[in-house]
Structure 1
Amino acid sequence: MARMCRPVQLGEPASEPVPVAGCDVCGALAQQRAGAYGVGDRSKVTDCNVEMRRHAHPRVVRA
């Protein structure tokens, strides 16, 4: 029996996160990502991007 499925619709790929200026964690992840690109390790690149997106930055409270 034939199965009728809807075609898959994929969106545009997400752009890479930009490291926050002055954040040591973002800076380290950006360096790791650059190194992973250099050796062709796309899995590591993705891991760094996910960590950078999930990394919480303290909110600046202005008086």
Structure 2
Amino acid sequence: MVRGLWQQVEQRDPFPVRDPDPADPDCDVCGALVAQRADCYRLGDLSGVVDRNVELRRHPHSVEDL
């Protein structure tokens, strides 16, 4: 019996990065991004997860707001 040339292997990120927490838990924008990220995880949209994480990291909060 001849086996296929391709073997499926589990792929993982060799440099996993923790999802960022919102800078301000009371911020509406941060809350919406966290909810959208959860939806992306649920749908298997890892590109969307990364996009939301980038937005969370870049969302501005002044020192006075924190």
**TM-score clears 0.5:** yes
CA deviations on 1:10-52 (whole Å, 9 max, x unpaired) are x743211101211111100000000000000000000000000
Q: Is residue 55 of structure 1 aligned with residue 59 of structure 2?
A: yes
Q: Percent identity?
A: 51
State TM-score, norm by structure 1: 0.72
State TM-score, norm by structure 2: 0.69
User: Following the alignment from structure 1 to structure 2, what is the Cα–Cα distance between the partners of residues 23 and 58?
Assistant: 12
Query: Which runs of 5 or more structure 1 residues have no equivalent in the other structure?
Result: 1-10
Number of the residue aligned with 1:8: none
User: Following the alignment from structure 2 to structure 1, what is the Cα–Cα distance between the partners of residues 16 and 60?
Assistant: 22
Q: Which runs of 4+ in 1 moved over 3 A?
A: none
RMSD: 1.7
Counterpart among 25, 40, 46 of residue 21 in structure 1: 25
